[in-house]
Structure 1
Amino acid sequence: MEFTGDADVARAAALLAEPARAKVLMALADGRALPASLLATEAGVSPQTVSSHLHKLLDGGLLEMERSGRHRYYRLAGPEVAAAVEAVARIAKPQPINSLRQSTRAAALREARTCYDHLAGRLGVALLEGLVRREALVRTDGGTGTDRRPEDPLAQQLPDGPYALGPTASEVFGELGVDLSEKPSGRRLLRFCVDWSEQRHHLAGRLGAMVANATLERDWVRRRPRQRAVDLTDAGRHALADLLG
C-alpha cells in the first residue's frame, strides 16, 4: 500500500508567487495552449527566462506541454489550476493602474472573459441568469437567479452546483447551438463556479465549454488577441437578448 502525505500547498503557492510565472498562468487561464515565445511576451521576460519558468510549472504539475512539429505549446494542467488562479485573483490586491490601457483591460476582464474554457464575468453570469429565466436550468435549492449560497467559497468551482437541467433545456440549448444529445465525455456536464468579479454563479463544466464554443463559432463572442477578455459582438448582443432576455 502506498501512503501519501498532505498536499504540498507551499510548493504550489511558491510557483504562483513569482510574478512572471503568475503572468504565464493568467495568460493560459482561458484554456488555450500557447507557445513559449508568446508566453515570454506576456510575462515580459526573455525566451530563456520563460523556458526556466515553464520547466518549473511543468515539474510542479500546473502545466502540460504538447508538441506540434518542432513547436511546443503549453496549457494549464486542468480546470482546477484555472480555479486556483481565479481564487488567488479574488483575494489579491489589484495592481496599481498606471495607464488607460491597463484600466481598459481590467474593465474588459470584469465585463467578459474566459475562465479556462467557459465564459465568466458579467457576461457569464448573465448567460446563466438567462438560462434559469427560460427554465433551461432550474435551481434545486430554492434559491433564485445566480445568487451565491452562503456556504459557497468565493472564486472557486463548486463541487455541487445548485442547478439541474430544466424542462426547456433541449429547446433553449438547441437555440444556442448546443446539442445535449452529444456523446458524453468523462467530464461532468454540469459544473458551476463562483465568479470572482461578480461573486455570483456562472456555468462551467462540459456544458459551459459547449456554450462558449457555440458563441465563438457563431461570432457572438470574439477573443481578444493574447488576452482572457472577450468581446460580445453586436450580433451576439441581439441574439442573446432574443434567446435569453
Structure 2
Amino acid sequence: MQYQGVLTKMQTEIGNPIQYYLVFESDFIHVNQLLNKRVTIKFVEYQCLACGENKKIYRQGYCYDDFYNQPQVGDWVMRPELSTAHLDIEDRDLDFEKKVQLQPHIVYLANSSNIKVGVTRKSQVPTRWIDQGAHEAIEIVEVPNRYLAGITEVALKEHVADKTNWRKMLKNEIEDEDLAEYRDRLEEFIPDEVKEYFIASNKETELNFPVLAYPNKLKSLNLEKTPEYSGVLKGIKGQYLIFEDDTVFNVRNSEGYVVQLSII
C-alpha cells in the first residue's frame, strides 16, 4: 500500500486504546492498523498550510511569511494570557480571534511525564490531553474565554510545571498521581476573578495509548536530515510514531511536509 499527502497532526478518537488517523487530501489512514507493519516515510516536498506553496516550513506547518501573519499562530495561542478579543482589540484578525478566544476554555492538570498545567478550548477535551501523551488528566476550571484561562495558568505555573518531558513520556517513565487531590491543593492560587469557575467534584480521565513496545534509547527522526526512513511501527503516543529500532517521529512537528508512505 502506498499513500501520499501533506502531514497535519493525527486526528484522534477516544477509545481503549486511543484510535489514530492520518488524513490526506485523498486518503484516510487508520494508523492503529499499521502496528507491527513496516512503514517507509519518504519526504517529497513542502506545502505551507496557509499559502499551499512549496516553501520551506518555518514553524507549525507554515512558511516564514505566513507564520508571522496568520491569526492561527498569533502570540496569544501559546500565551493565552495575551488574548485581547474580550476587549475588542485585534491582534491579527479580530473576527477569527473572537471565534476562538470567546468560547469556553479549560485549565487542566495532565500527567504524561510529570504533572503539568495547561489550557485548551473545552471543545478540545480530551484531544489536547491525547496530543500531549497524558495517561491521566483532570479539569481545574472552566471559564468563558481564553484570557481568564491564561491568567489562571500563569498563576498556577508558580506551583506546578507547564512543560512535558517528551523523552520520559515516550519511554513510559510515568507514575500515577491523585490529580483530584492535586487540583484541590491548587485552588487557593487561582486568581480571584476566576475562583467562581473552580470545578470541585469531577474525576480524572484515564487514557490508554496503542503501544506494543516502548523505546529504550530515543532517536528522533528529522525528515530534513533523513529524507527517507523505514521501520516497524510499534506504537503511537501523543503525536509520535514509535518504531522498533527506538526511532520516534513527531508527526505534528512535521506539519506541512508532503510525504510518501509505503506499508508492507
Q: TM-score range by the shorter chain?
A: under 0.3
Tell me the TM-score normalized by structure 2.
0.25
More helix, by proportion: 1
Tell me the TM-score normalized by structure 1.
0.26
